[in-house]
């Protein structure tokens, strides 16, 4: 089975999880890079503004075609109670190319439901599983049980 982990991460929290998932399931990894600069303080403000809408933004060239994969893990940080715009833009850019999907998200504390709902709407199908972890959980590494059942 061909598996892809596609993720966006602004401050490497979601990235940590994405790389661990990819290693565990022997997947290719696609780091989604935004052409909009969300770095630093100004970027944070911009991200907060864009996060409130489902604004589609431009992305750097992708390495892989999601149509080639049987299962795709989609990972994202929560922005303003929704999925960060680069990930939504990735799904939109690849509309109709997703077969089975699993969603994972990180957030300071809340907004997972809103992010997963939005991802489901854009993908056009329900995820097989979802994994929601707080930034603190990811940093501390206290998520092995949750991760194992997500990967099953
Ligand atoms: C613009 C912006 C909006 C955010 N909104 C939320 C939010 O609504 N709820 C929440 O719990 N965390 C929120 N966060 C915190 C991030 O979801 C959290 O720090 C996440 O783990 C960052 O992942 P990353 O390092 O992969 O970018 C927000 C962060 C940013 C930059």
Summarised one tens digit per residue, pLDDT across range 33-69 is 999 999 999 999 999 999 998 899 999 999 999 999 9
Distance, in Å, from the CA atom of 132 to the CA atom of 146, rounded to the nearest integer, reads 9
Instruction: Spell out the domains of the chain, with CATH numbers in brackets.
Output: 3-151 (3.40.50.360)
Nearest CA, atom 3, ligand 1: 79
Residues 6 or more apart whose CB falls under 8 angstroms from that of 144 comprise: none
**CB atoms closer than 10 angstroms to residue 61:** 5
Nearest CA, atom 7, ligand 1: 80
Tokens of 104: 């994972």
Do residues 74 and 89 make contact, with C-beta atoms less than 8 angstroms apart?
Answer: no
**Torsion 29-118-105-130 (CA) sign:** negative
Tokens of 79: 């922005």
Tell me which of 13, 107, 109 to substitute to probe ligand 1's pocket, judged by most ligand atoms within 8 Å of the beta carbon. 107
Please give the share of the chain, as a percent, with pLDDT higher than 90.
Answer: 97
Summarised one tens digit per residue, pLDDT across range 71-97 is 999 999 999 999 999 999 999 999 999
pTM for this model (two decimals): 0.98
Tell me which of 8, 49, 52, 78 to substitute to probe ligand 1's pocket, judged by most ligand atoms within 8 Å of the beta carbon. 78
- Give 119's pLDDT tier (boundaries 50, 70, 90): very high
């Amino acid at each position: 089975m061909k598996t892809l982990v596609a993720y966006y991460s602004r401050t490497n929290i979601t990235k940590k999880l994405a790389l661990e998932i990819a290693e565990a399931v022997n997947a290719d990894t696609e780091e989604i890079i935004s052409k909009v600069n969300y770095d630093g303080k100004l970027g944070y403000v911009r991200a907060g503004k864009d996060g409130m809408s489902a604004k589609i933004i431009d992305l750097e060239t992708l390495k892989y075609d999601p149509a080639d994969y049987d299962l795709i893990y989609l990972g994202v940080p929560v922005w303003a109670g929704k999925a960060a715009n680069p990930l939504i833009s990735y799904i939109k850019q690849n509309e109709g190319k997703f077969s089975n999907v699993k969603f994972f998200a990180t957030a300071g504390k809340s907004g997972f439901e809103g992010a997963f709902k939005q991802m489901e709407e854009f993908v056009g199908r329900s995820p097989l599983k979802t994994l929601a972890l707080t930034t603190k959980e990811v940093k501390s590494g206290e998520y092995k049980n949750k991760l194992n059942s997500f990967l099953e």
